[in-house]
Amino acid sequence: MCGIMGYVGGRPAKNIIYAGLQRLEYRGYDSAGIALLGKTVQTTKAVGDTSQLDMEALNSKLTMGIGHTRWATHGKPSIPNAHPHTFGAVTLVHNGIIENYEDLKELIDTTKLKSQTDSEVLAGVIDYYLKKSGNLLDATKQALAEVRGTFGIAVISPEAPGQIVVARRGSPLVIGVDENQHYVASDSAAIVDHTDKVIYLKDDQIALITADSLELYDLKLNHQNISVETLEEPGQTLDLDGYASYLEKEIHEQPTSLKNAMLGRVLSDGSIKLSGPNLTQEDIMGLENILIIGCGTAYNAGYYAKYQLEKMLGIPVSIEHASEFRYRYGAYDAKNTLAIFMSQSGETADTIASLREAKRRNMKTIGIINSVGSTIAREVSHGGIYLHAGLESSVASTKAYSSMVTALLMLGGMISYKSGKDAMVTQTVAHELEALTKEIEHTLKLQPQIEKLARKLSKYHDWYFLGRGPLYPVAMEGALKITEVAYVHAQAFATGEMKHGPIALIDDKHLSVVLLPEDPLLYKKSLSTLEEIKARGGNVLTVSTRPKEEASDHHIEVAHNGEYTDGLIYNVCLQLLTLAVATKKGQNIDRPRNLAKSVTVE
């Protein structure tokens, strides 16, 4: 959940590392630091973002170093707890969690510890072995043999001039390759401005990097083959392009991101072609269950698709929290179950762990992800679907959500056709998806109206989001977004569940956002709940494809695009509502407190 950036070459290192860390701040931060290696180590640290670093304290002539943006797991945000950590002759940056760090303290002089972190203990253990062997690579290897937990590390030392040692287990690292220089990062976004040639470290690999050489080993120091890959997506600008925040920009990028997701996949003749999922005709014909696994927004996207896939395919579709799946028994017939793993980054720790558990159970696994070359992309057994949504710089996910839903709808349409079901289902899905981008463009024009509403609604701290059928998971995503960004206490319920407990909290200080569906029967049922809320003095905002109901206090009318895709239009409204309320409250729109973009620890 933190960012690592490193460089060794012939150019001044501090600006390269600083720019890379800025690229990584979307992953979450509470502090930052840079260490450069010359005859000694020069370090600057700060609480907050990278702009707080004292860059003048670093020598502009030094040509190697490491840097870090931290999201706290051990120890509160503070300068001592910020990375890089130096213990003895070893300086280290670390992503992950060292589970047995208390036991490892037995190897070091704990009176020299300056922080509360597990990472500094690891630096101390490497220093302990460096004193014995005099070799930084060997010392790191010996220290990691003692470690239980996850790590992505970059290590430097004055005892090993010109060298960076990096290693990975469960936390991503990528090495950028260029002529007489190398880069290290936890995310390729940090290095795309410098090179498109990369090496993705696999679990339990360690590398020794200098300006003009790279050696790759396993953690027993057996040589490994090096595979240099080309980044498939070009570097993306961090310019705001006139928007006030990245969240606003990315909400407005959804028509484009959806076009990219559908390009070459949804065809004008109503067919859907997907080359990514490696499913045979036998796999498809034998399919009896679909299992969708994700966290947070990815979970909500999967939940929305659950309703639509069951309607398309006529088979059970289960949605699971990745943080729960691996720890409980599910009675799934592995032979006839397709497990779909959803993650914007492809590096979500809980989702990766669940993927490995599903493979252990011999399930067919595919990934729906946004990051080419990520762990999930590499480890799924039956391919998957890249979203091509582009970089999401804001911590709160918007365009990845809509692209995930679109990917699942495309997958459902393809499976429906190949399994011999009604061809009209696939054509309907394809035509709705084709029309969706224009309707979202129209929906985005509601922003001024929604901003005006937000001035009235931002006074409420307790919100309910209510929806029936596929609008229930849309309500879940709406509640999650406004909680994340506006720090509003929000809960989502299936509309019919309101009277089974939640209605006890309704009063004139409470706001309910009621999503009224197009379906006539469910619309009528939802109106009953609206009346129940009003009878108890509650305040109501309705979102609907129909005009305002008399009982509603506030209303947003949206277009009806189709039974499979309407939820994405409602969702854009709720994203704009979150943006407007958070802006009115003066919150940090792109970097909400305590949150990280890519959650790479459990």
Residues labelled catalytic? 2, 597
C-alpha closest to that of 508 among 488, 533, 531: 533
Please give the Cα distance from 252 to 443 (Å, whole number).
Answer: 10
Q: Determine whether 202 is exposed, middle or buried from the number of CB atoms within 10 Å of its CB (0-12, 13-18, 19+).
A: middle
Q: Can you read off the two tokens belonging to residue 62?
A: 């030094």
3-state secondary structure of 113: coil
Pairing of the two strands 229-230 and 289-294 = unpaired
C-alpha closest to that of 462 among 418, 416, 511, 390: 511
Please give the Cα distance from 210 to 207 (Å, whole number).
Answer: 10
Pairing of the two strands 554-557 and 317-321 = unpaired
Q: Look-up: residue for tokens 């840097």?
A: 67
Query: How many C-alpha atoms does 195 have within 13 Å on its Cβ side?
Result: 20
Query: What are residue 184's phi and psi, to 5 degrees?
Result: -130, 135
Angle at 547 between CA 545 and CA 553, to 5 degrees: 110
Query: What are residue 538's phi and psi, to 5 degrees?
Result: -75, 160
Q: Which helix (H) or strand (E) holds 310?
A: helix 296-313
Please give the Cα distance from 22 to 358 (Å, whole number).
Answer: 36
CB neighbours (10 Å) of residue 563?
A: 18
Please name the amino acid found at residue 250: E
Cβ(21)–Cβ(34) below 8 Å? yes
Please give the Cα distance from 105 to 417 (Å, whole number).
Answer: 59
Query: What are residue 548's phi and psi, to 5 degrees?
Result: -60, 135
Name the region of 512 (left: φ>0; alpha: ψ -120 to 50; beta: rest): beta
3-state secondary structure of 245: coil
Please give the Cα distance from 239 to 262 (Å, whole number).
Answer: 25
Please give the Cα distance from 454 to 508 (Å, whole number).
Answer: 17
Pairing of the two strands 364-369 and 384-386 = parallel
In terms of DSSP H, where are the helices of 335-421? Answer: 349-360, 375-379, 399-418
